[in-house]
């Protein structure tokens, strides 16, 4: 080995060791555990059971419900957050005054930890003392048991997530809007293009890489939805708000069924990859639009 | 010179690291506790022990789920991070079988007849008859809470049966426009704890003698129908709303735990033991679910003898009396019967009676999983996504699967 190569390997070694220790080993260990009946408090009697955990997970109605809830949540939350974030960004960008105050106040929800957000909304949505029901009562409506009614619980959690993360989408899209060359707008105006055409043919193509990045980040993040559901509904009523992460937590963490939880986790990883592969391919391959973040 | 400075700095760093890694000496006891009033009560009384033994007692308050997880994870370490741990009583079989607790008899802790018998039984493994692994720290037992003002308005006495509860709840709901009865129907532990006392009153048992589930029995169906009817004339609230609605006459009746309500002489709700019968004249059963928080010494504690001394101290009658003033819930008969305290805390006789007639959840290490399965199906039944029969049948099937 040449001295230059030796030097390169010496420089790379710490990173490789770190990655192996913090990423490769945990993933490998999780995969191995997923083929065992590993129960943490009886780890001495751990046995290899092949694909039994995977079969059990896939056959479990609660898991299938959790997958459905998670996917539904992801599609609705990401769509709404992107649409609202884009709308807010375009609106704010067109304003001439009060920009700073508006930008800061719009960002406030996303600065709060998810647990705090869940607790605040739990108080506000309370059907006995909550301010939302008090407001509704002025209009002769309610009280609604938002978090314990099977018709509303899922949408209440969805609404809270949109409330918290739309500002994040707004921030990235707004930053992208700032970078659109003004010359392109001027040229379009000279050519007589209307607002709609300018938005479709100039704004949108320019901010597309940022939009894709926001979609990717929010897709991955919504898949990990846990705190809000665990605090607000506990997965109920009737599993209408159970998510995959909550399912994994219940089995793998609370009940210490590490093997079973690992199998469910591996299935979740595959699902996240399936949903993210399109974005990741674009990101790595650089086809279409460059990902600049 | 530079070399000397380098050596000195290196020495200081290494010494600091070694000091950091040094095993914890006997000058500190760490207690992993359920957060909230339990921690407040312990903090208020620990100083006397600290002074007497020249030791610092650190109390770490955690949410129930976090506490269970952290205790379990730490149990596998050779030298545990905790010397004493609190455990919800249904966790006892699981923790005892896993060897998380040290045997208290071997540490010189003797059985004390002053502890309420049903509470003491929870700390033994096997349940009630085996060796002592934990002492009862907080004597929580489910009680029947009611708003006296609303009941008096209709000239109602405290109901003795669930059919009476239902009939009163219907009338109050129709005539006063408030919740006749409030259920705590959140999926998981809340709905199971809320439903089981009614199920027991109908003569139901989750398991037969051979650990076969029998939740879909006639008793189960009748109890769940009653529960759904109660919801129809009431509301489904979480803890805070149950407390405030009963206190402000927005709800008439509910089940609850003493530590939610009882804060001293000004306690707003009245309480009584949980109705023991399904209907007037029917057979009476023990229905008050016991939910004690237990405390034991960890098997991997570095100072088990000192930890056992603290356990004896914190559960002694003198200290329990002091803790009552700080939100503590006693487990000793002498504290409940103390004339000074019972004059001030008028619920004490009721609570002692409830403890004496309490019923423990099935003593299986798999209870957490059973509870989860049952909670899911009960939630489906009250949400109307499954019929009573379908939900109970599914629960039975799943519980049997877990118990295999």
Does residue B275 contact residue B160 with C-beta atoms inside 8 Å? yes
Does residue B216 contact residue B396 with C-beta atoms inside 8 Å? yes
* A40–B236 CB contact, under 8 Å: no
**B338 HSE (CA, 13 A, CB side):** 17
Say what the pLDDT of residue B262 is. Answer: 47
Distance from CA of B309 to the nearest CA of A (A): 27
Identify the residue whose tokens are 């692994």: B133
- The pLDDT confidence band at residue A17, using thresholds 50, 70 and 90, is very high
**A281 HSE (CA, 13 A, CB side):** 7
- What is the mean predicted confidence (pLDDT) over B247-276? 79
Does residue A167 contact residue B278 with C-beta atoms inside 8 Å? no
Closest CB from B72, B191, B376 relative to A239: B376
Distance from CA of A255 to the nearest CA of B (A): 7
Question: Per CATH, which fold does B25-140+291-359 belong to?
Answer: D-Maltodextrin-Binding Protein; domain 2 (3.40.190)
- What is the mean predicted confidence (pLDDT) over A161-165? 96
SS (H, E, C) B32-93: EEECCHHHHHHHHHHHHHHHHHCCEEEEEEECHHHHHHHHHHHHCCCCCCCCEEEEEHHHHH
Percent of chain A, pLDDT > 70? 96
Closest chain A residue by Cα to residue B63: A231
Say what the pLDDT of residue A158 is. Answer: 97
- What is the mean predicted confidence (pLDDT) over A90-105? 83
- Structure tokens belonging to residue A106: 């719009």
Query: To which H or E segment does residue B28 belong?
Result: strand B28-34
Does residue B119 contact residue B331 with C-beta atoms inside 8 Å? yes
pLDDT at B324 over 80: yes
* B368–A240 CB contact, under 8 Å: no
Q: How far apart are CA B293 and CA B137, in angstroms?
A: 6
Q: Where in B156-292 does DSSP place strands (E)?
A: 179-183, 235-236, 251-256, 270-272, 288-289
Query: What is the homologous superfamily of the domain B143-289+366-403 according to CATH?
Result: Periplasmic binding protein-like II (3.40.190.10)
* A255–B237 CB contact, under 8 Å: no
Phi, psi at A166, each rounded to 5°: -60, -40
Say what the pLDDT of residue B94 is. Answer: 94
Out of B134-148, B256-270, B339-353, least confident range = B256-270
Q: What is the DSSP string of B269-286?
A: SEEEPPP-BSSTTSPP--
Domain limits of chain B? 25-140+291-359, 143-289+366-403
Query: B144 has which bridge partners?
Result: B255, B272
- Structure tokens belonging to residue B361: 């959840």
Q: Which residues of A touch B188 (CB under 8 A)?
A: 234-236
Say what the pLDDT of residue B264 is. Answer: 45
- What is the mean predicted confidence (pLDDT) over B68-89? 93
Q: Which residues of B touch A60 (CB under 8 A)?
A: none
Report how far Cα B188 is from the mean position of its chain's Cα atoms: 15
pLDDT at B1 over 80: no
The β-bridge relationship of strands B56-62 and B28-34 is parallel
Integer Rg of chain A from CA:
24
pLDDT at B403 over 80: yes
Report how far Cα B244 is from the mean position of its chain's Cα atoms: 21
Q: How far apart are CA B398 and CA B370, in angstroms?
A: 8
- What is the mean predicted confidence (pLDDT) over B327-350? 90
Q: Each residue of B206-226: b (16+ CB within 10 Å) or e? A: bbeeeeebbbbbebbbbbbeb
In 3D space, the residue among B207, B213, B256, B252 whose CA is nearest the CA of residue B230 turns out to be: B252
pLDDT, one tens digit per residue, over B344-386 is 888 888 899 999 999 999 999 999 999 999 999 999 999 999 9
- The pLDDT confidence band at residue A125, using thresholds 50, 70 and 90, is very high
Say what the pLDDT of residue A54 is. Answer: 97
- What is the mean predicted confidence (pLDDT) over A120-127? 92
Q: Which residues of B touch A253 (CB under 8 A)?
A: 69
pLDDT, one tens digit per residue, over A200-252 is 999 999 999 999 989 989 998 998 899 999 999 989 899 999 999 999 999 99
Say what the pLDDT of residue B24 is. Answer: 47
Q: How far apart are CA A45 and CA A55, in angstroms?
A: 21
Does residue B111 contact residue B82 with C-beta atoms inside 8 Å? no
* A237–B382 CB contact, under 8 Å: yes
- The pLDDT confidence band at residue B107, using thresholds 50, 70 and 90, is very high
The length of chain B in residues reads: 404
- Structure tokens belonging to residue B370: 């059973």
* B241–A238 CB contact, under 8 Å: no
Say what the pLDDT of residue A276 is. Answer: 78
Say what the pLDDT of residue A3 is. Answer: 83
Which residues fall within 8 angstroms of residue B177, CB to CB, at 6 or more apart? none
Q: Which residues of A touch B402 (CB under 8 A)?
A: none
The length of chain A in residues reads: 293
- The pLDDT confidence band at residue B18, using thresholds 50, 70 and 90, is low
Q: Could you tell me which residue, A128 or B315, shows the higher pLDDT? A: B315
- What is the mean predicted confidence (pLDDT) over A131-160? 92
Closest CB from A41, A233, A234 relative to B75: A41
Query: B59 has which bridge partners?
Result: B31
**Is the peptide bond preceding residue A51 cis, with omega within 30 degrees of 0?**
no
pLDDT, one tens digit per residue, over A40-54 is 988 788 999 999 999
Q: What is the mean pLDDT of chain B?
A: 90
Say what the pLDDT of residue B268 is. Answer: 59
Integer Rg of chain B from CA:
24
Which residues fall within 8 angstroms of residue B377, CB to CB, at 6 or more apart? B386, B391, B392, B394, B395, B398
Please count the other Cβ atoms lying within 10 Å of the Cβ belonging to residue A2: 7
Does residue B164 contact residue B170 with C-beta atoms inside 8 Å? no
pLDDT, one tens digit per residue, over B27-74 is 899 999 999 889 999 999 999 999 999 999 999 999 988 999 999 999
Which residues fall within 8 angstroms of residue B181, CB to CB, at 6 or more apart? B165, B166, B169, B230, B231, B233, B234, B251, B252, B253, B254
Say what the pLDDT of residue B7 is. Answer: 59
Say what the pLDDT of residue B176 is. Answer: 95
Which residues fall within 8 angstroms of residue B297, CB to CB, at 6 or more apart? B83, B84, B101, B102, B104, B107, B304, B307, B308, B311
Q: How far apart are CA A177 and CA A202, in angstroms?
A: 10
Q: How far apart are CA B132 and CA B11, in angstroms?
A: 48
Q: How far apart are CA B31 and CA B307, in angstroms?
A: 9
ipTM exceeding cut-off 0.85 for this assembly: no
Report how far Cα B198 is from the mean position of its chain's Cα atoms: 18
Same fold yes or no, B25-140+291-359 and B143-289+366-403 = yes
């Amino acid at each position: 080995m040449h001295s230059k190569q030796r030097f390169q390997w010496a420089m790379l070694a710490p990173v490789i060791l770190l990655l192996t220790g913090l990423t490769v080993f945990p993933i490998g260990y999780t995969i191995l555990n997923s083929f065992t009946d590993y129960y943490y408090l009886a780890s001495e009697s751990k046995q290899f059971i092949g694909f039994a955990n995977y079969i059990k997970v896939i056959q479990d109605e609660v898991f299938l419900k959790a997958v459905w809830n998670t996917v539904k949540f992801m599609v609705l939350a990401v769509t709404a957050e992107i649409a609202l974030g884009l709308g807010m960004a375009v609106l704010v960008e067109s304003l001439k005054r009060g920009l700073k105050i508006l930008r800061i106040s719009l960002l406030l929800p996303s600065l709060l930890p998810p647990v705090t957000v869940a607790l605040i909304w739990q108080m506000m949505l309370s059907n006995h003392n909550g301010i939302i029901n008090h407001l509704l009562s002025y209009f002769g409506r309610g009280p609604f048991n938002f978090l314990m009614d099977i018709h509303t619980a899922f949408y209440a959690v969805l609404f809270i997530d949109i409330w918290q993360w739309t500002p994040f989408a707004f921030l990235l899209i707004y930053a992208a809007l700032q970078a659109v060359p003004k010359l392109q707008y001027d040229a379009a105006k000279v050519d007589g293009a209307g607002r709609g055409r300018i938005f479709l043919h100039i704004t949108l193509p320019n901010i597309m890489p940022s939009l894709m990045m926001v979609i990717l980040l929010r897709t991955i993040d919504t898949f990990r939805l846990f705190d809000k559901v665990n605090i607000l509904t506990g997965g109920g009523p009737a599993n209408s708000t159970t998510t995959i992460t909550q399912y994994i937590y219940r089995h793998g963490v609370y009940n210490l069924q590490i093997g079973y939880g690992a199998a469910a986790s591996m299935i979740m990883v595959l699902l996240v990859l399936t949903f993210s592969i399109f974005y990741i391919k674009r990101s790595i391959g650089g086809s279409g639009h460059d990902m600049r973040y | 010179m530079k070399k000397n400075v380098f050596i000195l700095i290196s020495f200081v760093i290494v010494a600091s690291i070694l000091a950091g890694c040094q095993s914890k000496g006997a000058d500190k006891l760490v207690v992993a506790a359920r957060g909230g009033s339990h921690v407040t009560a312990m903090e208020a009384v620990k100083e006397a022990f600290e002074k007497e033994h020249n030791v610092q007692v650190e109390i770490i308050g955690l949410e129930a789920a976090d506490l269970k997880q952290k205790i379990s994870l730490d149990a596998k370490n050779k030298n545990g991070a905790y010397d004493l741990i609190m455990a919800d009583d249904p966790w006892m079989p699981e923790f005892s079988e896993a060897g998380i607790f040290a045997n208290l008899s071997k540490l010189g802790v003797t059985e004390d007849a002053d502890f309420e018998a049903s509470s003491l039984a929870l700390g033994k493994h096997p349940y009630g008859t085996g060796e002592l692994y934990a002492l009862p720290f907080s004597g929580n037992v489910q009680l029947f809470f009611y708003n006296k003002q609303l009941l008096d308005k209709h000239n109602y006495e405290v109901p003795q049966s669930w059919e009476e509860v239902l009939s009163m709840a219907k009338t109050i709901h129709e005539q006063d426009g408030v919740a006749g009865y409030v259920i705590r129907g959140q999926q998981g532990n809340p709905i199971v704890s809320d439903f089981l006392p009614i199920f027991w009153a109908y003569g139901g048992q989750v398991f037969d003698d051979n650990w076969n589930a029998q939740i879909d029995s006639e008793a189960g169906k009748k109890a769940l129908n009653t529960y759904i009817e109660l919801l129809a004339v009431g509301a489904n609230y979480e803890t805070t709303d149950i407390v405030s609605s009963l206190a402000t006459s927005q709800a008439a009746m509910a089940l609850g735990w003493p530590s939610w309500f009882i804060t001293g002489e000004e306690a707003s709700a009245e309480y009584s033991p949980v109705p023991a019968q399904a209907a007037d004249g029917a057979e009476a059963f023990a229905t008050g679910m016991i939910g004690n928080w237990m405390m034991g010494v960890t098997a991997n504690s570095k100072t088990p003898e000192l930890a056992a001394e603290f356990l004896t101290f914190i559960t002694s009658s003198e200290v329990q009396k002091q803790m009552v003033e700080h939100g503590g819930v006693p487990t000793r008969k002498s504290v409940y019967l103390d004339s000074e305290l019972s004059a001030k805390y008028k619920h004490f006789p009721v609570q002692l009676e409830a403890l004496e007639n309490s019923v423990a959840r099935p003593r299986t290490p798999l209870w957490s999983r059973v509870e989860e399965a049952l909670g899911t199906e009960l939630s489906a039944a009250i949400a109307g996504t499954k019929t009573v029969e379908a939900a109970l049948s599914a629960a039975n099937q799943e519980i049997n699967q877990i118990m295999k």
